[in-house]
Amino acid sequence: MDMIRKQTYITVEQDRRLKEAAGRYQTTEAEVLRRALDGWLSGDSAHAGLDPFAGLIGFVDGPAEVDHDDIYR
């Protein structure tokens, strides 16, 4: 596989988490980055960690708490 060298900046927190992930998966930091980039580019994890319904909060006026069992009564 041909490789092209890229250089970028990451935050201190990203660096800490990257090192942790590389250790957990027993691979290199570069491989973790390649896998993450592949997932993001394919759309598989572009929104990983985000609540898919977060954009709907406040979309509908109504009570903040709903008795969801009421739907089935």
pLDDT per residue as tens digits for the range 20-60: 999 999 999 999 999 999 888 887 554 555 566 666 666 66
Alpha-carbon span 71 to 73, nearest angstrom? 6
Which 8-state DSSP code applies to residue 55? G
Is residue 53 in some structural domain?
yes
Of the pLDDT bands very low, low, confident and very high (cuts 50, 70, 90), residue 10 is very high
As given in the structure block, the two tokens for residue 25 are 């998966």
Q: Is the pLDDT of residue 65 over 80?
A: no
Is residue 70 in some structural domain?
no
Alpha-carbon span 68 to 65, nearest angstrom? 9
The domain total for the chain is: 1
The answer to pTM > 0.85 is no
Average pLDDT over residues 7-25: 94
Is residue 7 in some structural domain?
yes
Is residue 66 in some structural domain?
no
For 51, the domain range is 1-61
**CB-side exposure of 41: number of CA atoms within 13 Å?**
6
Alpha-carbon span 39 to 43, nearest angstrom? 6
* Rg for the chain, CA atoms, rounded: 20
